[in-house]
Amino acid sequence: MENESIHTLISQILDEANEQEKHSLRFLLEGVLKKQQDYYKTYLAGFMGIRSKKLDEDTYESIIPNQELVHNPLHIVHGGITASLIDIAMGSLVHQSLPSDKAAVTSEMNIHFLAKGDGHELRCQSHVVFKGDERWVVKANVYRDDLKLIATATGNFMVIPRKV
């Protein structure tokens, strides 16, 4: 029954969709598929199409394509998407540096939005400021294609035991 209602919904969307809406739907569905295949750890990362890598021991980079799916009504990247990109980049840096029995959660994040998010992609680089047994502090900057700084942030991450 659930499969049938999903097929009906997708068919209805496709029948009424313009090319941009079809592109957005395809991108969303590919994100779900990549989450199922363990390419992404979260659906949010799949929805955003994030690509990430550790640049060195204390630096992590995450990049998202700038597409209509992540835009606000002004046709620029939604501030919440930029905040999510920052949180993922900072949190991933902390997680990849912790022992396997530990995890981290964001306990505080402060963001300054400095310019509009446009161009083809947004690039976030996060850097460790402080490492402790129970708390980390990380700084992040988000850049457009033209290397303009569009947001800067700091985040506090609480280290907790990982649940098995």
* pLDDT for 164: 67
The residues, ordered by sequence, that sit 6+ positions from 104 with a Cβ below 8 Å of its Cβ are 91, 94, 95, 98, 136, 157, 158, 159, 160
Domain residues of the chain, as ranges?
1-39, 44-161
Supply φ then ψ for residue 135, to 5 degrees.
Answer: -150, 140
* pLDDT for 6: 87
* pLDDT for 1: 66
* pLDDT for 2: 86
* pLDDT for 3: 86
Phi-psi region of 45 (alpha: psi -120 to 50; beta: other; left: phi over 0): alpha
* pLDDT for 103: 94
* pLDDT for 80: 95
User: Residue ranges of the chain with pLDDT lower than 70?
Assistant: 1, 164
Report domain 44-161's class: alpha beta
